[in-house]
Chain A
């Protein structure tokens, strides 16, 4: 059981895919100016990562090494198509707003990365858990990002107005460059915490 807990902690914090490894921001950064879109998109990524890890891990001894990559991509593409169809059926407006980005989950580096780094050498259930938590780690970071961008850019949270109308929305927060700035500041703050706790841990001596 502790194995599961260890993976959870690693994926959510100490080896967070976005904050520490800087993977997988390609497809999702573009939709972070609305929280709802971000939530649905990252939920899709988490599910795809989990299930593709499960599948790849289950068939890992059957895949010849030479065609490993393309097999992984095909498995991932299969799950992305399912996610795309579900989104189109149940939340058509969101699906339209996300546009091509749902399809781009296929090339999200996190999914390939987890398949390569974890699912290749671990049993299916554990791999599923690893994929899912990697996705959740990704989700909380991007939701924080989206929260800041939506709050300052539109004055809303999940589309509900929270700031008074006297607040002037920051147009820059809606535009692409702000995603880079906000993510950079987020990484700055969190790395600052990590460095500080390391210094405390080692008794003031730097590594």
Chain B
């Protein structure tokens, strides 16, 4: 099944942001939990400004891979290099500081807060007022609040969620929650966006909207996107290159067309024993 994304975006003769050098390089990443080998010797890179998809059957280790990139899991072996800078250890806070933002498979929104507050929370690294300044509502705190509010409102407009900005997120339908989570990730103005199944559980219209948002973000801001996705149509249509994982190992790496005709990939999805 193919998602019909407006071809004007895809076939623009010139990309707004041509591919740059590798912005993210993963080498020989291996990850174990107790007795379970989640990832084995995974190596691939992500070029700046590209949209890279990670696909694979369930349990292949895709979310774990994202968690490694973002510092939530510490791999036993392997290294991560961001913008040519080799990182000895990645922590979630450090990942945020160097411009990596992400969404989660099971929606990690802050349930007790409204849409607006959730996305404002994403501006955390841009707000420097101390608690005293906030408590006393000193000028810097007030100014920051208003300035960041303006940025957040732009994102809200972009994602077409103005009408629900004050609603507590726990009351929103699943599809809208996913959109809010995308908004929160965008609020950090990231250079690398990690999306874990951003379209899971959505109907066709919602998927079209999400695709449009992702492509727009990549097109307007040049944000590099790494996304995990199950819908083959989406993957084939919007991603520039694809990594295929199966049982924690890499079994395919290339453009969507190359990967589609790779026999190993076909076998993995058809469940051929190997």
Partners in one complex: no
B residues near A, CB below 8 A? none
